């Protein structure tokens, strides 16, 4: 996440905050960045929606597809089980380079809710498209498949 002390009223205050909070800044003291190793989507979603709806500004925008979050079995999973997706008891997300995810055929975590396994998946292994019954008529699935096809080119 990056921050910038603007040219308007309040710039001195922001620079002082950078200094007081121990932010690393560039040589001008106007730009700072922080790294946070966690993304609390459930807590941060409201801020993103409000920013887009009220200010007309996104909180982030992808430039290219670098990484992907692949559904990963929390424990051994048997054929016939239904996955409960993000935040559930059956899978968690594991970040992988997008190229690796596509080559693997990894199922995106966001599409791992309410899908049934057609074969067993061992604990901590990636769940793949071929491991589940997927609704190919679903708009999100169709979009994802187009995205993967474009990435392979």
Q: Can you give the residue ranges of every domain in the chain? A: 2-55, 67-152
What is the CATH class of 67-152? alpha beta
For residue 143, the 8-state DSSP code is H
Question: Which tens digit of pLDDT belongs to each residue from 106-138?
Answer: 999 999 999 999 999 999 999 999 999 999 999
**Cα–Cα distance between 140 and 111 in angstroms, integer?**
8
Residue 23 CA: distances (Å) to CA of 27, 44, 78, 79:
12, 21, 48, 49
Average pLDDT, the chain: 88
Question: Which tens digit of pLDDT belongs to each residue from 31-82?
Answer: 887 777 776 777 777 888 888 889 888 777 777 899 999 999 999 999 999 9
């Amino acid at each position: 996440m990056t921050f910038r002390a603007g040219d308007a009223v309040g710039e001195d205050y922001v620079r002082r905050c950078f200094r007081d909070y121990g932010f690393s800044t560039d040589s001008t003291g106007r730009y700072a960045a922080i790294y946070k190793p966690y993304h609390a989507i459930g807590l941060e979603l409201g801020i993103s929606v409000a920013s887009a709806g009220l200010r007309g500004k996104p909180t982030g925008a992808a430039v290219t597809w670098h990484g992907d979050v692949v559904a990963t079995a929390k424990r051994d999973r048997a054929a016939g089980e239904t996955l409960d997706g993000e935040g559930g008891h059956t899978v968690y997300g594991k970040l992988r380079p997008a190229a690796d995810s596509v080559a693997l055929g990894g199922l995106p975590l966001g599409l791992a809710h309410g899908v049934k396994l057609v074969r067993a998946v061992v604990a901590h292994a990636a769940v793949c498209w071929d491991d589940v019954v997927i609704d190919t008529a679903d708009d999100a699935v169709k979009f994802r498949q187009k995205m993967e096809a474009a990435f392979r080119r």
